Amino acid sequence: MPIIVNLDVMMAKRKISLNELSERVDLTLSNLSILKTGKAKAIRFSTLEAICKALDCQPGDILEYVSD
């Protein structure tokens, strides 16, 4: 898939754990893990907004398009 999820990179930059982000964003650990590993097929804008707010970043910091 040409969309790369850089959630782990942003989490490391902000020094935040998956558990802490899960609590801040109100997402289950399993759903957040699926997103983090790039296995998610979709993401709601409301979820993306909550993640960006919690990590103080832009959507482009988390999602990246890479052409084949």
Each residue of 34-44: pLDDT tens digit? 999 989 999 99
* The pLDDT value given to residue 68: 75
**Count of alpha carbons within 13 Å of 34, Cβ hemisphere only?**
10
How far apart, in whole angstroms, are the C-alpha atoms of residue 59 and residue 68? 21
> Average model confidence (pLDDT) for the chain?
94
| Global confidence as pTM | 0.90
Tokens of 48: 């993306």
Q: 3-65 architecture in CATH?
A: Orthogonal Bundle (1.10)
Question: Which residue ranges make up each domain of the chain?
Answer: 3-65
* The pLDDT value given to residue 1: 63
Q: Which residue has the tokens 């907004």?
A: 49
